[in-house]
Structure 1
Amino acid sequence: MSRNSLLKSSLAAAAVGFGVTAAVLSLSTTAPQPAHADLPAPMIAAPSTGGLPSLAPMLREVMPAVVNISVTSKVEVQNPFGPMMDDPNFRRFFGIPDQPQQRQAQSLGSGTIVDAAKGYILTNNHVVADADEIKVRLSDDREFAAKLIGKDADTDLAVIQIKAERLKALSLGNSDGLQVGDFVVAIGSPFGLRQTATTGIVSGLGRATGDGIQDFIQTDASINPGNSGGALINLRGELVGVPSQILSRSGGNIGIGFAIPVNLAKSVMNQLIETGTVTRGRIGVQGQDLTPELAKSFGLSNARGVVVSRVVPDGPAARAGLKVEDIILKANGREITDFNQLRTVIGLLRVGEKVQLDILREGKPRTVTVAVGKDSEQAAPGAAVNPRLQGATFAPADESNAEGDIRGVVVAKIDPRSPAARTGLRQGDVIIGVNRRPVNSMDDFAKLTAGKDELLLHLRRGESALFLIVQ
């Protein structure tokens, strides 16, 4: 089993959020050594009432900026007797009363105030993604209704806003300066226990637990359900990360938690505040990690970087001169160790910005500068394409959601009880043809399916290909 597969199978469900439990930090009478010499000592271990070193003075300053978020949402009620019970004619024939199709659900999470004047709060997408009502409770027990400003599923970040006075905001630190071994404190509302702080260190950097834009900070600071969207701070009291996931087979903390770096969060947050959405940067390449075996075949002594396996014709990378078999070593000065890292660096750049790629071509170093492009097409609901595809959401295939040859349209989401699902479509299917005509874009797909009573879909599903008739 691959590392990513093991991580995916072990992650606790994101929908319930993640949190930190209360813990006692054992401190000797000797103040701990700072992780960096330039840290102000009073913020690290200021004397408490008992004269012992303590984090209490720093926490008193920052904890009012971390809030409790409660969310009310509607969830579909699955009928235990199968889909026939969803048919009103079937129920009427047998005299079965109508059953509620939805019920209200409540969940808890955390958030961090990042702008006191405007009331902006940074949290996780999975905390508020399906919310019908969002409430924020402050450390002084004041409660406010919150407005969703924007959300981004790829990075699991969201911004909400409250109208309130006397708010305390956290200063944003620099997550690029973190090192393994730096002390950090996690603050949030585990299991609804508000204003809980736990300590630990940075256990790892640049972690990825699956697909999407990921560059996690790994920490052993205790994180449990309810802390999602809270704060991971350094000993200056600055926000350096947003707790998002844990690795656990039981759902509880085992000392492996993941937080979104604040520098990544800042880029996404600014776009959400400005436009409510995030435009993801693309350069039009597909690549794979450079393994020792691949490195040997390319005549390289070091197995580091990403080998370019495909360059999208007429894409930004192709126009800049990037070629298949180029080895990408750095992007904007940052060392690239795997393709997910490259995708993250580029995905956080804005359209029109430039990325400088340090590459090896036939063993010789080169520099290629690429102007970042964007997805020219957006996701579309199936109902807008063809009524028989209602319940599915389609998106253009690219390096973030499709493997191998990047062309066609991806089934990004699908309701398992919808007409689209009954045709046999599955999430992740890549449609490369309709009625024996090739599909290279969302425009192709829309034109070939519009008004058709019967569709012959040509699909890629994993490593297989098949035809599917939709009538």
Structure 2
Amino acid sequence: MTENISTISPAPLLVRLPRALAMAAVAAVLAVGPLAAPTPAFAASAPESFADMAQKLLPSVVNVYTTQTAKQPEQRGPAPDLQLPPGSPFEQFFKDFMNRQRNPNAPPRRQTSLGSGFIIDESGFIVTNNHVIDGADEISVRLHDETELKATLVGKDPRTDLALLKVETSRKLPAVPWGNSGDIRIGDWVLAIGNPFGLGGTVTAGILSARNRSMGGAYDDFLQTDASINRGNSGGPMFNMKGEVIGINSAILSPNGGSVGIGFAIASNLAKPVIEQIRNGGQVKRGWLGVRIQKLDEDVATGFGLDKARGALVSSVQENSPAAKAQIKQGDVILKFDGRDVPESDRLPRIVADTPIGKAVDATVWRNRKEITVKVTVGELKEDEVAAAADPNVPAVTGEVKSLGLTLAGLNAQSREKYGLDESAVGVLVTDAAQDSPAFEKGVRPGDLITEVGQESVKTPNDVSDKIKAARDGKKKSVLLTLSSRGETRFVAVRVD
């Protein structure tokens, strides 16, 4: 059975899951000396009951339900003539179905979506997931006391799957405070509350299983929990033991659509500033750098002379972008941005997005085997700008030249036409990659253009061969190749030992 991640809604979004998550074990503490020392308390013990906390928080969690009009499908050409045996029990069913399809005046169907939300302000502001209300014609909210109110959409942010609603009421509503998701530790208790399907509040408890999880989005920052989270709980809050919101329940890992103890919540430290921007201006503005980035593996890091795989590798720089104006170059590894470490590539988009637009910041980059600092003035990300993260389907690959089954050729008019290369392209073309070779297995294909070896330009197959031989003679384990393919640039650490 294939596992999947689904948003917790009646129409789940399915994506692939990274490999299984690791669990840590705590070693026992041994007493020493004539008298046993007290055992340190590694974590607070489980509360005797969550009842008091749940009773206080439940009124702040609401059911969100929406309706939208589903258009009738266009009839394209004559309806098919279904031949069914006389007296078939399906005969009338298919006649009724086809009559509805042929009737252009049939009333539009109404579709309903259900989810959860929570009140953040007594005046009626409610947070939920964007996928709960996306495409809705009408949005309604059912409070804990069964009061039903019409809601208006203040704004939404599909990039983080967040939305803010507003209901009008003469009474003060029970609101819950934001907490600091950065303070919660793996193993701490959490409480998840939802109001699924209008059944009323549902409370589940568990521990925080992991932090900083990503599902492939540029701005993902998910908390993982083993607290049971089920469909209809999307948009509901996850609380710490102080009763503060430290996450918004959004997705589950499940083989069948039900909870199996792996749920994901958007971290409050990501959600809170997004919601504040929506509340203040109806839209979210993010910082923009203008680079496409690639993840470093250990081989590529070694090729760049880094002590370990860290930072974000710049695979290309957009023209007239803040990065281009700051002289950030292809092949730079961004290690720090505005004083914040970049431990891995997917952190950079989040760090840049949180940086105030127009702010001049220092960026520490690794270039030519040493650190340098450049000054960058952060721009504003527009909806039509290229996303900051590189295409995740572009692999970080490794390969050799001859011993890995690669055949090289110089560029000419015929090869440029065959592989769609423009006249300005310079480099050495991979014309063949043996299917049983390590290079092929790692993604090197005919049509890839080798533009640099060891960060030095190459124009002929001999240039490549000479630089590979020099690397071997110099007792190097690997040499770095710069490849261009389909308009994208990537870096490949080629083992030469």
Tell me the TM-score normalized by structure 2: 0.64
User: What secondary structure, in the 3-state scheme, does the structure 2 residue paired with 1:83 have?
Assistant: coil
- Contact kept in structure 1, 2:7 and 2:252, CA below 8 Å: no
Measure how far apart 1:314 and its partner are: 2.5
**Alignment partner of 1:169: what SS?**
coil
What's the counterpart of residue 286 of structure 1?
292
Contact residue 287 and residue 378 of structure 2 kept, 8 A: yes
Q: Which moved more, 1:289-298 or 1:315-324?
A: 315-324
Aligned residues: percent identity? 40
Shift of 1:327: 1.8
Partner of residue 370, structure 2: 364
Evaluate the alpha carbon distance shift between residue 163 and residue 129 of structure 1 in structure 2; reply closer, same or farther with a 3 A threshold: same
Aligned residue pair count:
350
Question: 1:66: how far off?
Answer: 1.0
2:146 aligns to what?
A: 141
Other-structure match for 1:26? none
| Residue of structure 2 equivalent to 1:63 | 58
**CA spacing shift, 1:34–1:149, aligned 2, 3 Å:** farther
Output the CA distance in 2 between the equivalents of 1:150 and 1:85. Answer: 43
Cα distance 1:356–1:68, how it changes in 2: closer, same or farther (>3 A)? Answer: farther
- C-alpha deviation, 1:402, in angstroms: 5.9
For the residues of structure 2 that align with 1:264 and 1:374, how far apart are their CA atoms? 18
1:259 aligned counterpart, secondary structure: strand
**Residue 304 (structure 1) shift:** 1.8
- The answer for the alignment partner of 2:76 in structure 1 is 83
CA shift in 2, pair 1:115/1:369, >3 Å: farther
RMSD: 3.2
Matched, 1:216 2:209: no
Q: How far apart, CA to CA, are the structure 1 residues paired with 2:393 and 2:215?
A: 21
Establish whether residue 307 from structure 1 lines up as the match of residue 301 from structure 2.
no
In 2 relative to 1, CA 312–59 (structure 1 residues): closer, same or farther, beyond 3 Å? same
Higher Cα radius of gyration: 2
- Change beyond 3 A, Cα 1:400–1:60: same
Deviation at 1:187, TM superposition (A): 0.5
**Aligned pair partner of 2:6 in 5, 12, 16:** 12
Classify the secondary structure of the residue corresponding to 1:176: coil
Structure 2 residue runs without a partner (length 5+): 13-39, 80-100, 395-419, 423-484, 488-497
1:399 aligns with 2:388: yes
Distance 1:225 1:155 in 2: 19
Secondary structure of 2:59's counterpart equals helix
Given the alignment of the two structures, is residue 150 of structure 1 paired with residue 151 of structure 2, yes or no?
no
Q: 1:119: which partner in 2?
A: 124
Change (3 A) 1:150 1:143: same
Question: 1:181/1:333 Cα in 2 relative to 1: closer, same or farther (>3 Å)?
Answer: farther
Residue in structure 1 matched with residue 429 of structure 2 by the alignment: none
Report the TM-score, using the length of structure 1 for normalisation.
0.67
Q: Which residue of structure 2 aligns with residue 347 of structure 1? A: 353
Change (3 A) 1:76 1:56: same
- Following the alignment from structure 1 to structure 2, what is the Cα–Cα distance between the partners of residues 345 and 235? 28
Q: Deviations over 1:25-56 (max 9, x none)?
A: xxxxxxxx98778xxx9xx73xxxxxxx2222
What is the aligned counterpart of 2:208 among 202, 208, 224? 202
* Higher mean C-alpha deviation, range 256-265 or range 233-242: 256-265
**230-239 or 128-137: bigger deviation:** 128-137
Per the TM alignment, residue 368 of structure 1 is displaced from its structure 2 partner at its CA by 3.7
